[in-house]
Structure 1
Amino acid sequence: MPAPSPFSTCLLWAGLLLLKGSPAAAEALHSERGGLHSTPLAHRPSRTAAMLDPLRSLAITDHAIVSTITARSVFEQLVSQAGPSGFTAEQLFRQLWDTQNPAPGAADLPGGPHCSDNGNTLNGAPYVCRSIEGIDATDRTPASIDSYVLVGLFNRFDLAPADGADCGEYRMSFARFVPAPQARSRNRFIFEGVLPNPTPELGLEGCRPVARAWADLSTVDDPLQRGRLVKALFFEGVGSDRNPVIHPHHYGDNPTGAGQLRTNQFMQLGVNEPSPWLLREFKLEHRCDATRCTLRFIPVTTKSTPRGNFFNALNTTPLAVGFREHFITQVASLAVEDFHRFNYVVPDIYNAAQSSPQLMRDGVDDFIAQFNKAPTPNPFFDALQAELQRIGSPLSPHHIVARAESLSCGGCHEHTKGRDLGGGVGTFPIGSPRFVQSNDLLFPPPQPGDPRLYGASTTHTSTLLPFRQQILGAFLDTPPLDAGFVRPGTEVASVQAGQVFQGTVTVTNTGTTKWSAANDTRGISLDGTAHLELDAGDALLLGQSKTFSFTHTAPTVPGLATYRWRMQRAGTAFGPELSFTLHVLPASGAAPRKR
């Protein structure tokens, strides 16, 4: 089935923007542990999770499967979906790497950004040229794009936001295939597509078709059949919307800027002339003017990666001071005693243009090394210590900085391995194969149908994948519509017959569908009294509660009066019966007693 048009995909993102509000309204979490990590799904017992195979439903690295998807086919689909863009698939691939060359770059790739723009800076931070990787822009032979092979497909449903504004990220990791003697030519890029929710008015429930499709891969024993199914997820999509992962709008070219491509650049000039290992980030941008349209990769900041020297209290530039003041407000989030849940927000003005995971002599991107450059005590150290004491945390300022570093690109890949993150979190796992979480080399080189898997780090297999498996399974175990009756509440325990009274009932959303007045969710009266109506601005997500207030007139007959409701959405009732019991006194009885 053909992929949706650019216009139809734009409509999905436009609907999302209307529901979500302006993307500038607040800074979002961009690290690898946002999304569903802080929802009830993270710790809910799950029968489905135990039946999932993480190497089928979360991280697919079987050579027999990933070898069926080529870099060329991905770039061809992007160019085709974008409409007339002036570039072929090979040119778009080369334009990505031409960003690493100084202007003017390749003659047939005009108008694109370059590393030399703005005096070799991006976001005010250094952005060095990398002409060694830029070779892939000047090489016009098919061998250039075809030298990159897919080494992994990754399901990051766990990164879906709790409100279901999108359905998470789905990633394709490509590596430059080189024989062992030329390993210094190693290079990687990873497409991280954010899939829009086809029915965002339902909240997270709208993502069930794609979550189920990934989970069902665990039940398919034939690797060739699994390969066909997962390829369809990326190139064709699932469900009635048929929205594939691979689409320009899913890599940053959308109203919220969601999705990206990241590079992991290893290439060296020679055995004795190493180039610093760099991690960088890009967005796809599709622009049209009166004469033509262009599709380009645009370098952007590396998210959750503030400039390392901002942690040095000796750096008194206004931006560094502003960052440290902001960082103090994030201590409580970083002090959460759960490896998968501590987090923080980095406003983009503080993010670096690149991340160097290598422990360089000056520690330019090593937060702890920079933090230690200022003698203690100093105002930044003291402020961190005071905030930790205020929230009652036993952690030290060094633990908080180390946790922030572990969320950065370079920290996750290299800097933080084996570092003490403090408290119940302990040390960051050591287990990255050659600076990555999934390997890109098989020796001897694989042949068609090779059953081997590209290896993954023990951090990935023992720590990260089990948690993502838990979230996916718990989501699928949770019914679309369900409610929990918290308790009846009342301002008046007893009231005289015929008297007006007020009461409250509290109910929790225990399903995956968002409750709102807009999607026709309410508490329907079972005895002919007033319904329980959500307020216009209510949007109750999984685990959130609502206290409904109501005003009624007590019956004229003394005794016990029970009022009953049941939650309902679009005519479908769900959850337990809600009730409120009132003691009705004779009209000539005592005045109402307050509880």
Structure 2
Amino acid sequence: MISVAKLRMSTAVILIATHSSAYAQPYCPEPLKQHSIVFNDKAALADRFSFRKTINAVLKSQGIAVTKEAAEKLVSTMLSSFVADDFVNRNSQLRMQVSERPMESVLKASDLLDADKPDNPFAMVPVGLFNRLDLVPEDWSDCGEHRIVYTFNKAIDHGNSPPASRMTIIFEARLRNPLGGQIGCQPVAEFWANLSKLADGGVIADELDRFYYTGLSANIGPVVHADNYRFGQVRGNLFVNKVGTSTGPVQWNLREWIITSVDGNSSSFVPVTVKTNPLAELYGAGVPATAAPQARAATVKDEFWREFKGSYLGQLIEFDEVATDKNHKNYDKRLDRTAPEFDLKVFKSYLFSKLGARFDDKFNEFQSSVSPIDNPMGPAIDNTAFKQTVVDPEAARLAKVGVDSTQLVARAAAVTCAGCHNFFKAGPPAGTAPIAKLGAEEILWPASLNFVHIDEKAALSPALTEFFVPFRREQLEKLVCKPSAPITVEQLVATAEVQARDRSILRLQQSIRALAPQTAPLGAGTTGGLISQIQDDREAQRLKPGFFVQNRRSH
């Protein structure tokens, strides 16, 4: 048990050592520049954030010897996961089908890691760094996510048939709070804000290099550390359809992994469910055909309908209810349709950013794609019974905020990965299903760049530039313009206990030898038990309400 008395005695020392400027007036420009939220200078990023450098940093953080072979072995564990045609959801115990990805599975790890050869079309190169402090939980137990996006150096043109191959890998590190409370994350917020003082891309990239690979201090960072991809994740956006003379599917597909070491000598990408992506067939009239066993699938579907009505429906309209509640702590006149100060652009920015639901992981599947079977609004899913049974009984509550049953289901579709990246492409024509309506104006989900939000040239999508970046910038300004409250002893105790638990997990990792995580079922044996323990911790953290965004989603 951690001594509260000892913590009380050392609080001042810890505060000074970790954040000596904690009570100083933070830097507060008006407004922050875009590169305090996303830095997408491709030339400046190229050498400082190479794919190999990130993979090597992950290996080093695990105490694994950094060699060419070790790096290729780690990347190969991601590629080998594309051979599978199903995975087991450890919470629901459903075996859920996924699309085989034959073209991704035959890619060579050495090609993805080698950006030095100009004739290598498959090299992964950095195109953007993203500040996602807006994803901090309400209790400030972590400091949000800090991301690196890699793509092929350019889309690989195959002529008219098949379409160009593309691939994106996003390293989404969830940074642990070294102290607890808002003050523990204040140095991170101020670091990103202070980038607005800089104009030279090379200097900005150098500062970000320090944060990502070295750390801001002995207690904060580095971002690129294996622990941060156990509690965070790595996500892939896949569209490889030709390698050599072989041709594969042309369906966009998104996947998710965590990184962990289970034998102390090697590291693995472990496939996990894609968050906020319930199996789309759960919205349908019948038993989900892509999940087995069927009897269990029917039970899970019943649970999903009950929990959607009891929790998720309310979460999907929570923004609307708060927007008109003058007594709510987060009330903002700019978002209140009945107020003279109402601002439609700000309203959209906040709606798109805050819309979400904290779906239990037992419902999530292992992919999100443009396939009609993965779209709750698509032609392959008959959601009539779902709307009649689950949504329509709440019609009076929905009517108060001006949302109908079709818009409600459209919101559930929009918060999936495929929904955000290419809304309804596989169902109705893109943009025909609104998520809200204000008077005569239908509010449609904002546009991506053909299923990506940052492309191979480091261009940003309209959704980012017009809505998501302005929202995130405003939240960062709130952090750096308002001094944080002093940390409490209770917060120190809670944080220290979390860190002690994390250290015990790491010790357990180092003690396991000669196990093969890619062949062991998740949740079975020593390896599966370790992975389950990690995922339990991740799920508990993920389901916490957010400080800025109540229902946090990963995109």
Question: Scaled by the length of structure 2, what TM-score is found?
Answer: 0.67
The alignment yields a C-alpha RMSD, in angstroms, of: 3.2
- Judging by fraction of residues, say which structure has more strand: 1
How far did 1:157 drift? 0.6
Q: Which residue of 2 aligns with 1:373?
A: 382
Q: What is the letter of the counterpart of residue 37 of structure 2?
A: L
Q: Give the count of matched residue pairs.
A: 406
Q: Which residue of 1 aligns with 2:417?
A: 409
- Relative to 1, partners in 2 of residues 1:297 and 1:142: Cα closer, same or farther, differing over 3 Å? closer
CA distance in 2, matches of 1:49, 1:388: 45
Query: Is residue 229–residue 258 contact of structure 2 (8 Å, CA) maintained in 1?
Result: yes
Q: Indicate the SS of the match to 2:107.
A: helix
2:357 pairs with 327, 335, 344, which one? 344
Q: How does 1:255-270 map to 2 (within 5 A)?
A: 258-269=231-242
Q: Which residue of 2 aligns with 1:209?
A: 187
1:250 pairs with 220, 225, 228, which one? 228
How far did 1:238 drift? 0.6
Q: Which residue of 2 aligns with 1:96?
A: 78
Q: Which residue of 2 aligns with 1:281?
A: 256
- Relative to 1, partners in 2 of residues 1:260 and 1:123: Cα closer, same or farther, differing over 3 Å? farther
Q: Which residue of 2 aligns with 1:60?
A: 39
Q: Which residue of 1 aligns with 2:277?
A: 305
Q: Which residue of 1 aligns with 2:469?
A: 465
Query: What are the superposed Cα offsets for residues 111-169 of structure 1, whole Å, 9 maximum, x if unpaired?
Result: xxx556669x9952112321211122476796489711001110001001121100000
Q: Indicate the SS of the match to 1:293.
A: coil
Q: What is the letter of the counterpart of residue 420 of structure 1?
A: P
- Judging by fraction of residues, say which structure has more helix: 2
1:164 pairs with 128, 136, 140, which one? 140
How far did 1:79 drift? 1.1
CA distance in 1, matches of 2:467, 2:265: 44
Query: What are the superposed Cα offsets for residues 452-508 of structure 1, whole Å, 9 maximum, x if unpaired?
Result: xx2111110010000000000011111123xxxxxxxxxxxxxxxxxxxxxxxxxxx
Q: Which residue of 1 aligns with 2:456?
A: 440
Query: Is residue 166–residue 196 contact of structure 1 (8 Å, CA) maintained in 2?
Result: yes
Query: What are the superposed Cα offsets for residues 95-121 of structure 1, whole Å, 9 maximum, x if unpaired?
Result: 2212213xxxxxxxxxxxx556669x9
How far did 1:48 drift? 3.4
Q: What is the letter of the counterpart of residue 130 of structure 1?
A: R
CA distance in 1, matches of 2:307, 2:478: 35
Query: Is residue 115–residue 128 contact of structure 1 (8 Å, CA) maintained in 2?
Result: yes
CA distance in 1, matches of 2:391, 2:116: 48
- Relative to 1, partners in 2 of residues 1:518 and 1:320: Cα closer, same or farther, differing over 3 Å? closer
Q: Which has the larger radius of gyration?
A: 1
Query: What are the superposed Cα offsets for residues 347-384 of structure 1, whole Å, 9 maximum, x if unpaired?
Result: 1110011011x2x4xx2011112696255xx4642431
Structure 2 residue runs of 5 or longer lacking an equivalent are 1-6, 8-25, 118-122, 289-297, 321-350, 425-429, 494-545, 549-555
CA distance in 1, matches of 2:252, 2:402: 35
1:135 pairs with 66, 91, 106, which one? 106
Moved more, 212-221 or 176-185: 176-185
Q: How does 1:33-112 map to 2 (within 5 A)?
A: 48=28, 50-54=30-34, 56-68=35-47, 69-84=49-64, 88-101=70-83
Q: Which residue of 1 aligns with 2:408?
A: 400
Structure 1 residue runs of 5 or longer lacking an equivalent are 1-14, 16-45, 102-113, 253-257, 442-453, 482-512, 521-540, 544-595
- Relative to 1, partners in 2 of residues 1:275 and 1:180: Cα closer, same or farther, differing over 3 Å? closer
Q: Which residue of 2 aligns with 1:154?
A: 130
Q: Indicate the SS of the match to 1:353.
A: coil
CA distance in 2, matches of 1:188, 1:247: 20
Question: Scaled by the length of structure 1, what TM-score is found?
Answer: 0.63
How far did 1:64 drift? 2.4
Query: What are the superposed Cα offsets for residues 308-329 of structure 1, whole Å, 9 maximum, x if unpaired?
Result: 1111133382211211111112
How far did 1:402 drift? 0.8
Q: Which residue of 2 aligns with 1:444?
A: none
Q: What is the letter of the counterpart of residue 275 of structure 1?
A: V
